[in-house]
Chain A
Amino acid sequence: MPRFRAWFCRLLGLVRKQSRESEMNAEIQQHLDALTERNIAAGMSPKEARNAAARDFGGVEQIKEVAREQRVWKWADEFLQDLRFGARMLVRSPGFSILAILCLTLGIGTNAAALSWIEGILIRPYPLVAHQDRMFALNATIRGTEGYKGLSYPDLLDFQKNSTLFESFIVDKITGTTLSSGDRAERAVGGMVSANYFDALGVRPILGRGFRPEEGTGRNAHPVTVISYMTWKNRYKSDPDIIGKTQFMNGVQHTIIGVAPEKFHGTFIGYSFNFWVPTSMQETFDNTGYKLEDRGARWIEGYAFLKPGVTRQQGQAELSAIAKRLENDYPETDRGHEISLLPLWKTPFNAAGGISTTLGITAAVVFFVLLIACANVSNLLLARSLLRRHEMTMRLALGAGRRRLIKQLFTEGLLLSLIAALGGIAVAYWSRNALVLAFPPSVPGITIDYPGSMDWRVLLLSIAICIGSTMLFALMPAVQASHVDLSGALKSEGAGVIGGHGRSRLRSTLVLVQISLSFVLLAGTGLLLQSLQRMQNTSPGFLTNNVIVSVVDLFSAGYKLDRAKIFHTQLLDRVRALPGVESAALTRVMPFSYNPPSSAPIEIDRYQPAPDEQPNADYVQVSEDYFSTLGIPLVAGREFTRNDDEDSPRVAIINETMAAKYWQGKDPLGQRLKVKDTWMQIVGVAKNVYYETKLEAPRSFFYVPVRQNFFVGNTLLIRTRETPGAITNALSREVHALDPTLAPYAADRLQEQVDQRGYTQRLAATLLAIFGGMALFLAAIGLYGVMSYSVSQSTRELGVRMALGAGVRDVLRLVMSRGLRLTIAGVVVGAAAALLLTRLMGNLLYKVSPRDPIAFGAALIILIAVALLACFLPARRATRVDPVRALRI
């Protein structure tokens, strides 16, 4: 309490400085008067009495000064004084101030922008959703294995029923449908959500309502939907009477009961949802069957909200205990199944995981930019402190303490970074979504929404960065400046001699740091660009440019299996007859798609698995001509034909890895393979290709004929030299002829699909390129500043050399070699640091060693080129020194 009081009194003293001063004067005067009076009473003359009183009292002015220090909040007083003085100094040298503030604005602004973006994704990824601090992703795994497995609906209900520490559990399973408008169909992304979804998230529809509890139950009993704001606006032209109207989705008329608020995109990082339906409609939206009563069907993705005050550990303990009980009660379905709570940014079932490395790189890179900016400002301050040496010397000579001097210089620095921080935050605020614009476009038809949010965390961090960077850039010059050697400085004043050796060494060190940081960024960018290049150049093993992909979504249109089979057969015939089409095929899952291929345990004739081995392979259902359409060579056997249908023996084509693994050199043709109780004869061996990403390792994979394993939904692959636009038009006509209510998706080259899977890499490369360029620019300014400063400082030396006969060439060489030495030292340090740091990018690099010589070499060449330019300009100025004038100085 007394401490606070003292603080308050002093603060008051600060504000009421004027009245306090006069009060003190009056009090002391009164004291002196009383003493004088007493002396007169003792018999002195008035004059004697006054003198004696003053003698007894002591030096009035000194005492007042000491007293002032006691009563006023001295530190704040000095601070205000320094601030005023600092502001005056900034205004006096506007060039310096503007440059320094710009550098810092750039540094702090990029950090604030990147932070707001990172913070948005890490902590509050979902706009408008309340209590995201208590929201956790439910991570379902199997003991001893990796990867997300999904929750079953009955399990989820049990967790909900038996837990006490949770406010709510929500289901949010990504799904989709096709909404057609005219002769084009569009993919709409939606969520199958539990009935409590909107209530738990605290999201209130702007029109209509969210789901009612009873709408979550009953098999396909509640065809109701809440649509997104964008869907309402674009598809329904903001119809104010939309509630109660219907929307045909997956063959069922759904009643629109609500419109979500504009900013709400759902709870799936990377995707913006168009509609939501209750989980009771699962069977309608999932082409693999009814699962709501199947404890073994693991398909649910979801979140849990902890009650306020409950820690993640407590919640986790309770869930684990329930999971243990479920294991005991339902061993055949739940044995080994575990559940854990993950923070939202580690959500295992959306794009959160793929982006975390990129976030880390972004954070590191913007921090580097800030460091480089700080080094620049430090250099500027050092240069200016030399100009102010006279002032500093004067202050020291007049008795200012070094601490006081450092404090003053520090305050000036703080003023700079405060202005820059305000500018930076403003820039970050206006550009917080611009960072996203710089990103390469993602999956077409799906909006990406990475919210950049400025909240107290970002502001607090920005202020911390501001103060931290002041420490970085202002402290060293301030300490340096306060170490003026009084006698030396006074003596040399006016002689124009170069600044202290220590100072130029400090400046060189700063430039060295800048160059090495730039080198790290450049080398990192080089590595990412190169792996991007390699990834682009690596063939996936099939044709991508002349193959066009499209989908006719029969599942969403409500087709049943038989009708779909007829439709697809007829469509395939019509497409093959189109002019310019070389071949066409169907596949259930196209290569490199978001949907994974099927996966199943397998059994192989005459292959004895090891005791703990369960042979497993991925497979996909394809039609005849699949291999010729995609240009995948068969190393043995034949391709599927139209005759491989339900009436003929089951067949399969395996890949080389599978042949090598299970037949070990023997000919697999004619041998048998069992999947899901069906034996299939192997009729061909295909070359290995990449199936999902170019990052995957070779694995066992096989193909089965689509006609023996039909699904309603299939993707159409067309090999042609026509453009996607032309194919889309032709395809629309053919689809329309078969069923006037249907339309195909806009056709796209398979290449686009392949490119999308390298999205994270492209994102990281883009970010590094942007910030690497910024860093390089700042470092070049720094180098230029130091070189031109040292040239201006050694005018005399250069003059002497030229007077003694040194030519332009000699002077150039002298100056340039100094700059280059600095650059090379910086590159050496930077290369060492880069070797350590680039290893952390391991999983973003593709077929590129983290110490790739080309990336490092390119960084070296770029840096040297920039350094040469930065040194050349001051060096040329040096050659223009007039020896006579230089010597006269």
Chain B
Amino acid sequence: MAKEKPDLVYGTLDMLILKALQHEPRHGLAIADRIQQISQDVLRVEQGSLYPALYRLEAQGWLKAEWGVSDNNRKARYYRLTAAGRKQLAAEKEHWSRITAGINRVLAST
């Protein structure tokens, strides 16, 4: 089964991928770059583990993939967020903030 890198919170990769695709379609490497860049290098995605996650999301109908040409004129597979994917992202964000809020409250207690 797919196992995410330990420096990524388990189960959050899907959400991060969806988020990275929020504004424009990207190919695999660009998604990894994007996550690393926004998180200011806190979150490093193991490049390879991206693909099982991408295929899973595609199979769920949250992403749509098509071949395109990358900036440096290479053939690349671009992933685009579908409407269902957008809904899923919202749901996961909501879920995440509830969990983290809960955890924070626990940690903040004396």
Contacts from A to B (Cβ < 8 Å) = 1-2, 5-6, 9-10, 13, 23-24, 26-28, 30-31, 33-35, 37, 56-60, 62-64, 66-67, 69-71
Contacts and interface: CB of A to CB of B under 8 A. Distances in A.
B74 A28 contact: no
A58 B47 contact: yes
B95 interface: no
Contacts of A66: 1-2, 49, 52
Looking at B29, B53, B55, the one whose CB has the most chain A CB atoms below 10 A away is B55
Nearest to A20: B55
Which 6 pairs of residues, A with B, have the shortest CB-CB distance?
A58-B48, A5-B61, A63-B48, A71-B55, A70-B55, A70-B56
Contact of B55 (A35, A60, A62, A67): A67
Contacts of B72: 34, 37
Given A2-B84, A67-B52, A9 B29 contact: no
Interface in B48-69: 48-49, 51-53, 55-56, 58-62
Given A2-B60, A67-B51, A67-B55, A58 B74 contact: no
A2 B58 contact: no
A1 B48 contact: no
B41 interface: no
Contacts of B62: 2
Contacts of A37: 72
A59 B51 CA distance: 12
Contact of B77 (A1, A27, A33, A63): A27
Contacts of A27: 28, 51, 76-77
Contacts of B74: 30, 33-34
A119 to B, nearest CB: 42
Given A6-B59, A34-B70, A70 B84 contact: no
A196 B61 CA distance: 58
A24 B74 CA distance: 16
B61 A30 contact: no
A9 to B, nearest CB: 5
A13 B58 CA distance: 12
A456 B90 CA distance: 46
Interface of B: 1-2, 27-29, 46-49, 51-53, 55-56, 58-62, 70, 72, 74-77, 84
15 contacts: A1-B84, A5-B60, A10-B59, A24-B55, A27-B51, A30-B74, A31-B27, A34-B29, A34-B72, A35-B47, A56-B47, A57-B46, A57-B47, A58-B48, A67-B52
B108 to A, nearest CB: 37
A6 B61 contact: yes
B76 to A, nearest CB: 6
B2 A31 contact: no
Nearest to A73: B59
Given A2-B60, A2-B62, A58 B75 contact: no
A216 B28 CA distance: 82
A6 B55 CA distance: 10
A2 B91 CA distance: 15
A47 to B, nearest CB: 19
B59 A30 contact: no
Contacts of B2: 66, 70
Given A30-B77, A67-B51, A69-B52, A35 B59 contact: no
A35 B56 CA distance: 23
A855 to B, nearest CB: 60
Given A34-B70, A34-B74, A63 B59 contact: no
Contacts of A34: 29, 70, 72, 74, 76
B67 to A, nearest CB: 9
Contacts, number: 81
Nearest to B70: A34
Contacts of B55: 24, 67, 70-71
A71 B28 contact: no
Contacts of A24: 51, 55
B75 to A, nearest CB: 6
Given A2-B84, A70-B55, 7 more contacts: A30-B76, A57-B46, A63-B52, A66-B49, A70-B2, A70-B59, A71-B56
A58 B45 CA distance: 11
A26 B61 CA distance: 22
Contact of A58 (B1, B28, B49, B61): B49
Contacts of B77: 23, 27, 30
A33 B84 CA distance: 32
A130 B76 CA distance: 62
A54 to B, nearest CB: 9
A69 B59 CA distance: 11
A59 to B, nearest CB: 7
Contacts of B84: 1-2
Nearest to A53: B47
B47 A71 contact: no
Contacts of A26: 75
A10 B59 CA distance: 7
A69 B56 CA distance: 9
Nearest to A34: B29
Nearest to A58: B48
A143 B33 CA distance: 86
Which of A13, A34, A35, A71 has the most CB atoms of chain B within a 10 A radius of its CB? A34
A70 B60 CA distance: 10
A2 B59 CA distance: 9
Nearest to B51: A67
Contacts of B49: 58, 63, 66
B28 A31 contact: yes
Give the interface centre of B2, B52, B74, B77 by most chain A CB atoms within 10 Å.
Answer: B52
A6 B85 CA distance: 13
A139 B102 CA distance: 68
B4 to A, nearest CB: 11
Contacts of B58: 9, 71
B59 A9 contact: yes
Nearest to A62: B48
By CB atoms of chain A within 10 A, which of B48, B52, B62 has the most?
B48
B27 to A, nearest CB: 8
B29 A63 contact: no
Nearest to B28: A31
A31 B29 contact: yes
B48 A60 contact: yes
A65 to B, nearest CB: 9
A31 B47 contact: yes
B29 A35 contact: yes
In this complex, which of A24, A57, A62, A69 has the most chain B Cβ atoms within 10 angstroms of its Cβ? A57
A70 B17 CA distance: 16
B89 to A, nearest CB: 13
Contacts of A70: 2, 52-53, 55-56, 59
Contacts of A33: 74
A59 B55 CA distance: 17
A859 to B, nearest CB: 56
Contacts of B1: 66, 69
A9 B56 CA distance: 10
A28 B51 CA distance: 8
B11 to A, nearest CB: 15
Nearest to B88: A2
Contacts of B51: 24, 27-28, 63-64, 67
Nearest to B3: A66
A2 B56 CA distance: 12
A604 to B, nearest CB: 88
Contacts of B27: 30-31
A693 B84 CA distance: 74
A27 B47 CA distance: 12
Contacts of A64: 51
B90 to A, nearest CB: 14
A59 B56 CA distance: 19
A70 to B, nearest CB: 4
A389 B50 CA distance: 40
B88 to A, nearest CB: 8
A67 B1 CA distance: 9
A404 to B, nearest CB: 14
